Amino acid sequence: EHVPAHRAHCTPAPITRYFVQHAASTGKPERYGTMPHRHDTPNTTQQKALIANTAARLIAESGISDYSLAKRKALHALGLPEGTHLPENAEVEAELRTYQRLFQGDEHADRIAKLRHKASAIMEVMQKFNPYLTGSVLDGTAGRYAEIDIQLFTDSAKDVEIFLLNQHIDFEHSTPRSDRAEAVLTLDDELAAINLIVYPRFEERIVFKTRDGRVRQRVRLDALRKLLDETTNDTVRGIEPDTALSP
């Protein structure tokens, strides 16, 4: 995944220091306080946990949103050989939530709230194209430099382009992440880039899934507003999968 130049790469801290400061001050379980040394020979489970930890930090700190890319970068950073068993995306996500809770706290909660409010404003403008919020801003795992992903369903991407031009909203074309998307129109905002992912209208009825087979959550504007109303300043809530898929 392309990461803009101003989003500097984040080199993982030496693994023997990973989570150490927090563990020393709070007495968290050893899992979050010490990590095997690079020259140890951990079993597969330990290796996968180590990769998940490092990948989670990369996602949280350096603007990477692609879990596969984060895992490959973590593998390289840890000096582990190609062919090493990699953790599932769900394992990385669990470590990401832990990292954000332990190390980013209020900053993370504030970031998620601002990104969701921005998404709500954009979705209101784009209502005629059946917008849905999806991705890390919805599920509460958006890291620093995360982008807002909004799905649109319409007869033609050209209709969206013409609408944006008429509204004097600048956009640029980005590369779609899947063959199902007709186009991705990216709006440049000081808070975050906003990707309007345009699909054919009939795709709205289809359940979208992540690369590892999990249902990709999505919500309409009314559900997003409800989520914002229910979210307190010190709490980052996700949304339940059964409500996230309601048409």
CA distances from 210 to 63, 167, 229 (A): 19, 33, 27
Copy the structure tokens of residue 96.
């990401």
- Cβ neighbourhood burial of 187 (10 Å; 0-12, 13-18, 19+): middle
- Which stretches of the chain are assigned E, i.e. beta strand? 132-134, 148-154, 172-174, 183-187, 194-200, 218-219
Contact 185, 169 (CB under 8 A): no
How far apart are alpha carbons 247 and 121 in whole angstroms? 20
Contact 67, 75 (CB under 8 A): no
8 or 196: which leads in pLDDT: 196
Q: Whose CA is closest to 219, among 231, 229, 211, 227?
A: 227
- Edge-to-edge strand ranges of the sheet holding 132-134: 172-174, 183-187, 194-200, 148-154, 132-134, 218-219
Give the lowest-confidence range in 23-32, 47-56, 183-192: 23-32
Task: Please report, as a single letter, which amino acid is at residue 170.
Answer: D
Mean of the pLDDT values across residues 100-107?
Answer: 91
Checking phi first, is residue 22 left (phi over 0); if not, alpha (psi -120 to 50) or beta? alpha
Tens-place pLDDT, residues 135-176: 999 999 998 889 999 999 999 999 999 999 999 999 999 999
Task: Please report, as a single letter, which amino acid is at residue 19.
Answer: F
Tens-place pLDDT, residues 111-132: 999 999 999 999 999 999 999 9
Tens-place pLDDT, residues 27-37: 443 344 334 43
Rg for the chain, CA atoms, rounded: 19
Query: Above 80 in pLDDT, residue 8?
Result: no
Where does the pLDDT of residue 179 fall: very low under 50, low under 70, confident under 90, or very high at 90 and above? confident
Mean of the pLDDT values across residues 69-87?
Answer: 93
User: Rounded to the nearest 10 degrees, what angle do helices 221-230 and 105-125 cross at?
Assistant: 150
- Please name the residue that has the structure tokens 């249902």: 215
Query: Above 90 in pLDDT, residue 19?
Result: no
